[in-house]
Amino acid sequence: MIVDIRTYTTLPGKLNAWLALYEAEGYPIQLKYLGEPVGYFMSEVGVQNQVVHIWKYDSMADREKKRGAMQADPAWQAYLKKSAEAGYMQHQENKVMKSTSFSPL
């Protein structure tokens, strides 16, 4: 199993607007292709204006298949365009990590 950990940093004062757009338009599409995330979190202490979401996959091939299908969906492309045009995002970081032999996931 692997996990895809994505950290998004919005511009100051834009976090709630980005979350509202994502929840209404992006999240339903991701659920359709990726299933339920492991978790979706926003910063409370430390670096502000950040959201971290974690998705699990059986393998890199599983991740590529699911994300490829999502990328091919015109609704996902329309959401990405709308999100980019809104200009809420400052930075994105993505990590794909694999489990250790003793990990509970």
Collapse the DSSP code of 31 into the 3-class scheme (helix H, G, I; strand E, B; otherwise coil) and give the result.
helix
Query: CB–CB of 34/56 below 8 Å?
Result: no
- Stretch 39-55: mean pLDDT, rounded? 95
- Stretch 45-71: mean pLDDT, rounded? 96
Question: Is 105 within the bounds of a domain?
Answer: no
Q: How many domains does the chain have?
A: 1
Question: Is 77 within the bounds of a domain?
Answer: yes
Instruction: Give me the half-sphere count of Cα atoms (radius 13 Å) on the Cβ side of residue 15.
Output: 15
pLDDT of residue 103: 87
Tell me which residue range forms the domain holding 74. Answer: 2-97
Place of tokens 């298949």: 65
Over its C-alpha atoms, the chain yields an Rg (Å, rounded) of 14
pLDDT of residue 99: 87
- Report the alpha-carbon distance of residue 11 to residue 3 in Å, rounded: 26
pLDDT of residue 65: 98
pLDDT of residue 35: 95
Q: Give 54: exposed, middle or buried? Use CB within 10 Å, 0-12, 13-18, 19+.
A: middle
pLDDT band for 44, please (50, 70, 90 cuts).
Answer: very high
